[in-house]
Chains A and B, each alone.
Chain A
Amino acid sequence: MSIEVRNLTHIYNEGLPHESTALEDVSFRAEDGELVGIIGHTGSGKSTLVQHLNGLLKPKSGQIIVGDVDITAEGVVMREIRKRIGLVFQYPEYQLFEETVAKDVAFGPANLELSQEEIDLRVREAIELVGLDYDKVKNLSPFDLSGGQKRRAAIAGVIAMKPEVLILDEPTAGLNPKAHADILNMIQTIHRRENNIIFLVSHNMNDIARMSDRILVMNHGKLAMQGTPEAVFSRDRELKEMGLALPDSMEIVSRLRAGGMEIDGTCMTIRAAAEEIAKVLRA
């Protein structure tokens, strides 16, 4: 499976006085097993972009090819597309609504015309995959879970659809450091298990640097850069002009370099930075 976006353009309120171009000629491609980070300041077009990827929005022009289906074409059955592409919105726990965790997670698959057996199996698998104890939580009200657990339960509802493409919009916003780390580990587990395409939208540059195979940088509706974390975060001046930041370790290293220390390497983690700094100090 692959997903290919070709020359995507979207205009809000076209023809009205306050029309605005939210996406302009955006093109990229992602393959199975890739984790693609998406960064950009508020209003840069990230959310508009991901809403196109599962067909919630229709583009003004351009195509999105999922596998061999052009989902922007006339007459495409959107139900089929949304089965294959799961979107987890920001603060997904606000969308929990069922009486029990198991029922909530089952809501999506139950709409897929699967056998009850298959639904039950998927619910169990999804709940376990997000790191919750199925037997403990299945009969609990989702509102009895902690903040981090609620979010995992909500993500399980999307995982249970077995999407080939999973889009996560700010999955760690508002979580404490431990719950934050747990969600990231969960995403990696899902990714390894399902070998799907994951798009991770985040303002947290540490997470993006650590998790992504490739990064898309959005700015004013355009795809301003794409590349490996090393390549993207080495363009620190351009990122700062776009209102973006570096991962913490690279920010420290960049300021040490400005102060005259000749530090090697990309230093994408604090540990890597410490090793490189120690080399310079020992020399």
Chain B
Amino acid sequence: MTDFIRVENLVFEYEKEEDGQRFRAIDDISFTVEKGSFTAIIGQNGSGKSTLAKNLNGLLVPTAGKVFVDGLDTAAAENIWEVRQRVAMVFQNPDNQIVSSIVEDDVAFGPENLGIDPQIIRERVDEALTGVDMYDFRKKAPHMLSGGQKQRIAIAGAVAMEPECIVFDEPTAMLDPKGRQEVLSIIHRLNQKGITAVLITHFMEEAAQADKIIVMDQGVLKMDGTPDEIFKQVDTLKALSLGVPPAVELAIELRKQGIDVPEGILNTDDMVRFLCQLK
């Protein structure tokens, strides 16, 4: 696989509004995101996750170090449109990202700004709405939809730009369990179709489904590895104010009860399968 995003010694500082002091939100981090992969970023509030996300599509540019998207330097002004075309973003609150009063107009907003032929926009919008199971709602008003549905509209808006990568910044934080499930399965479906996915989340079971997890703490990259490698280190995660998925927690408790549970069971499906064959 090839690297799609390359972050090299990224430093990001900004001036705090209150006292004018410089604050280093990201402190010299490096990692890569492979084309077509699914990467989760976890870390406590204020660890620099969202600042990092905004550095991945040039919404913010590095104070020092480099971010390359598909080989393009995000700090070079002439690259900015190409970078944003390749990496789209979906944020936490769907109400802050919806601009139109009709669903399909909202999804068309991005491609319209790219100056694309109306006929092609029509096709892209229909395809994007079908892809998030919201085609039947195309004539509806977004404010009449549920949180999960609105978030899927926001995702369709990103998909209609035909990006190669979508960065999701806590897209499920405000949703009920059903909405969360809907949005997560859409993200996985898009990833399976080849879109590179970067998911920032506080839900450890969401992170467990990624190919790779990046753990941030106080602007520093603390861990970088597969879910297996990361969730093995329970004590380190707890020290970073993070947790483990329920299946991992259950494995720990079962071991205390003398049941020999192998490492590497990270999700509920695998745990249920393992326990049922023991019986």
List A residues at the B interface (Cβ < 8 Å): 40-43, 90, 141, 143-144, 146-148, 173-180, 203, 205, 243-245, 248-249, 251-252, 255-256, 259-261, 270-271, 273-275, 277-278, 280-282
Binds A, one of B74-82, B112-120, B247-255: B247-255
Assuming A173-B174, A205-B177, is B258 touching A255 (CB within 8 A)? no
What are 28 inter-chain pairs, A to B, with CB distance below 8 A? A41-B176, A41-B178, A42-B147, A42-B148, A146-B45, A173-B173, A174-B173, A174-B202, A175-B45, A177-B204, A178-B44, A179-B44, A203-B176, A203-B177, A203-B180, A249-B246, A251-B268, A252-B272, A255-B268, A259-B275, A259-B276, A260-B279, A261-B279, A271-B253, A274-B253, A274-B256, A274-B257, A277-B257
1/0 contact string of B151-183 vs chain A (CB within 8 Å): 000000000000000000010011111111000
Contact of A277 among B17, B247, B275 (CB under 8 A): B275
Q: B256 — which chain A residues lie within 8 A by C-beta?
A: 274
Q: A271 — which chain B residues lie within 8 A by C-beta?
A: 253
Which of A146, A147, A178, A282 has most chain B Cβ within 10 Å?
Answer: A178
- Contact at A178–B173, with CB atoms within 8 Å? no
A182 to chain B, nearest CB (A): 9
| 9 shortest interchain CB distances as A-B pairs | A178-B241, A147-B45, A274-B253, A243-B178, A278-B257, A248-B246, A177-B243, A245-B177, A176-B44
If over half of A's interface residues share one DSSP class (helix, strand or loop), that class is named, otherwise mixed; here it is helix
A146 to B276, alpha carbons, bound, how many Å?
Answer: 44
Closest residue of chain B to A206 (Cβ to Cβ) is B246
- Contact at B45–A148, with CB atoms within 8 Å? yes
A248 to B45, alpha carbons, bound, how many Å?
Answer: 23
Contact of B254 among A173, A174, A278 (CB under 8 A): A278
Tell me if B63 counts as interface (CB < 8 A to partner A): no
Which of A90, A147, A148, A248 has most chain B Cβ within 10 Å?
Answer: A248
Closest residue of chain B to A41 (Cβ to Cβ) is B176
Q: A281 — which chain B residues lie within 8 A by C-beta?
A: 259, 275, 278-279
Closest residue of chain A to B204 (Cβ to Cβ) is A177
Closest residue of chain A to B173 (Cβ to Cβ) is A174
B257 to chain A, nearest CB (A): 4
A179 to B177, alpha carbons, bound, how many Å?
Answer: 20
- Contact at A261–B177, with CB atoms within 8 Å? no
Which of B146, B241, B268 has most chain A Cβ within 10 Å?
Answer: B241
A252 to B259, alpha carbons, bound, how many Å?
Answer: 16
A54 to B278, alpha carbons, bound, how many Å?
Answer: 53
B275 to chain A, nearest CB (A): 6
A251 to B256, alpha carbons, bound, how many Å?
Answer: 21
A42 to B250, alpha carbons, bound, how many Å?
Answer: 29
Q: B18 — which chain A residues lie within 8 A by C-beta?
A: 141, 143-144
- Contact at B146–A41, with CB atoms within 8 Å? yes
A114 to B55, alpha carbons, bound, how many Å?
Answer: 49
Closest residue of chain A to B239 (Cβ to Cβ) is A178
A174 to B172, alpha carbons, bound, how many Å?
Answer: 9
User: How many chain B residues touch the partner (CB < 8 A)?
Assistant: 43
> Which residues 255-278 in B have Cβ within 8 Å of A in the complex?
256-259, 268, 271-272, 275-276, 278
Closest residue of chain B to A202 (Cβ to Cβ) is B176
- Contact at B146–A43, with CB atoms within 8 Å? yes
Q: A251 — which chain B residues lie within 8 A by C-beta?
A: 246, 268
Q: A41 — which chain B residues lie within 8 A by C-beta?
A: 146, 176-179
- Contact at A277–B272, with CB atoms within 8 Å? no
A42 to B180, alpha carbons, bound, how many Å?
Answer: 11
A243 to B45, alpha carbons, bound, how many Å?
Answer: 28
Closest residue of chain B to A39 (Cβ to Cβ) is B176
B199 to chain A, nearest CB (A): 15
A255 to B271, alpha carbons, bound, how many Å?
Answer: 10
B40 to chain A, nearest CB (A): 14
A205 to B18, alpha carbons, bound, how many Å?
Answer: 38
Closest residue of chain B to A205 (Cβ to Cβ) is B177
1/0 contact string of B27-56 vs chain A (CB within 8 Å): 000000000000000011111000000000
Closest residue of chain A to B147 (Cβ to Cβ) is A42
Q: A256 — which chain B residues lie within 8 A by C-beta?
A: 272, 275-276
Closest residue of chain A to B149 (Cβ to Cβ) is A42
Q: A42 — which chain B residues lie within 8 A by C-beta?
A: 146-148, 175-176, 179
Closest residue of chain A to B92 (Cβ to Cβ) is A174
- Contact at A176–B202, with CB atoms within 8 Å? yes
A270-B253, A274-B253 are known contacts; what are 9 more A-B pairs with Cβ within 8 Å?
A: A41-B178, A42-B175, A176-B241, A177-B242, A248-B246, A260-B279, A270-B250, A275-B257, A277-B257
